[in-house]
Structure 1
Amino acid sequence: MKALFAVVGSAAPGEQADRTGQAAAPSRRAGFRLLRGGRSEDEQRPTVTDLYHAHRLGLVRMALLLVDRQDVAEDVVQEAFTALYQRHGERLDDLDNALGYLRTAVVNGARSVLRRRRTAREYVPPHEADAASAEDQALLNDEHRRVVVALQELTERQREVLVLRYWSDLSEAQIAEALGLSRGAVKSTASRALDALEKQLEKTR
């Protein structure tokens, strides 16, 4: 199952350096070093601009798995960065975990989008998506599309936990913080969600 999310989270050609700042390491976990935002004590706190250049693409891909439309995912991430800047400024001197703030903001933004989408579907015909652009194709290959379709059949909470755990490679503690859950709830939700996702994927084979 992790392999499926690795495929979904893989960079488009020519983009791997943008996500990690270096060539891909043998360990998949190392590939998410920037996304985790780890830094030593003597490193300068990153600015909003630093975070934007280092993590925007990764956050867009995370949001894309939650909302299933690239333009909407980009809007959600942009709004998260805007809110971060408006609340804390460029330097972020008073915020210890800016990346955690952004993850939570993106998840909450995706939830809002899905709530509005469900409401809109009660009144308007289903949206007919335009033909995918070259950039869309780079982010949404065939395996990616299968996983995205299967994810949409899960509950909102199950989808969030799987995306954060197996795509963003967050720990149970980090997911619990981002979603406002206990670690036990994260673990049990992930287990049930994996079972449900595998059943959905089997239907599309």
Structure 2
Amino acid sequence: MTDRPTSGPDAGAAGAPQVEQDTVAALAAREQERDDAVEQLFHSHRAGLVRLASLLGAESDAEDVVAEAYWQLYRSWNKLRSPDAALSYLRGVIVNLVRMRTRRLIVSRRHVEWAPPEVDSAENEAMLRDDQRAVVAALRKLPARQREALVLRYWGSLKEAEIAEAMGISAGAVKSHVSRGMAALTTELGASE
């Protein structure tokens, strides 16, 4: 019986189990790293992301939107350029999910007689003071892109580049949406006084 080399190009099947074990260990370590990172993001940013989704227009199902965003982050973790991009990715997913939700609601409302509820959820009402309610009501009257840009800028405290990434538009378009949105918001709030 001939001795087979245990390493090198002639190792054959003898080296395969060790390579397979190393690969499995590396995959398990990467999955644990992903699990830990997503859990940390969840605990530190969930409340702010729920508020973001609510302000963007998903008042009644903001929690569901954020849960879906975290699920998409979890599934796409290995595609991120770096773990530092995860929060930006979450914001972008939330913006897109709220847009899709809004489109679905618009289509369904065209085909069904529907009146919006006159009473907001108890959680939203409890969180807002009167002046904040006026701002939120005025925000809801703005076009979606202007509302998104203002919410990300002033409530999310994001920079123009981060807003552009989250909304999928250029930084110049962000400036335009913020400027137009502020003008419309000022006009709306001035008219309501």
TM-score bracket for this pair, using the shorter chain length: 0.7 to 0.9
Q: Secondary structure of 2:117's partner?
A: coil
TM superposition shift of 1:67: 1.1
Amino acid of the structure 2 residue aligned with 1:172: E
Distance 1:182 1:122, change over 3 A: same
- Confirm whether residue 65 of structure 1 aligns to residue 50 of structure 2: no
Identical-pair percentage: 48
Distance 1:68 1:140 in 2: 16
Query: Which residue number in structure 1 is paired with residue 40 of structure 2?
Result: 50
* Structure with bigger gyration radius: 2
Taking structure 2 as the reference length, the TM-score comes to 0.73
More helix by share: 2
TM superposition shift of 1:128: 4.6
Amino acid of the structure 1 residue aligned with 2:133: R
* Alignment equivalent of 1:169, drawn from 132, 135, 157: 157
**Are 2:53 and 2:66, in contact at CA under 8 Å, matched by a contact in 1?**
yes
Query: Which residue number in structure 1 is paired with residue 104 of structure 2?
Result: 116
TM superposition shift of 1:113: 1.1
- Confirm whether residue 138 of structure 1 aligns to residue 147 of structure 2: no
Amino acid of the structure 1 residue aligned with 2:39: T
> Which range moves more in the overlay, 125-134 or 161-170?
125-134
Query: Which residue number in structure 2 is paired with residue 76 of structure 1?
Result: 65
Distance 1:120 1:133, change over 3 A: closer
**Are 2:50 and 2:62, in contact at CA under 8 Å, matched by a contact in 1?**
yes
Which consecutive segments of 4 or more residues in structure 1 shift more than 4 A? 130-134
TM superposition shift of 1:66: 1.0
Distance 1:93 1:186 in 2: 23
Distance 1:55 1:162 in 2: 19
Distance 2:176 2:82 in 1: 34
Query: Which residue number in structure 2 is paired with residue 11 of structure 1?
Result: none
Number of residue-to-residue matches in the alignment:
159
**Are 2:69 and 2:93, in contact at CA under 8 Å, matched by a contact in 1?**
yes
RMSD: 2.4
Distance 1:117 1:63 in 2: 15
* Alignment equivalent of 1:202, drawn from 187, 190, 193: 190
Distance 1:103 1:57 in 2: 13
Taking structure 1 as the reference length, the TM-score comes to 0.69
Q: Where does 1:89-128 land on structure 2 (aligned, <5 Å)? A: 95-128=83-116
Q: Structure 2: 5+ residue runs without aligned partners?
A: 1-32
Distance 2:185 2:163 in 1: 19
Distance 1:181 1:121 in 2: 28
**Are 2:58 and 2:98, in contact at CA under 8 Å, matched by a contact in 1?**
no
Q: Deviations over 1:152-173 (max 9, x none)?
A: 2211111110000111010011
Amino acid of the structure 2 residue aligned with 1:63: A
Distance 1:108 1:93, change over 3 A: closer
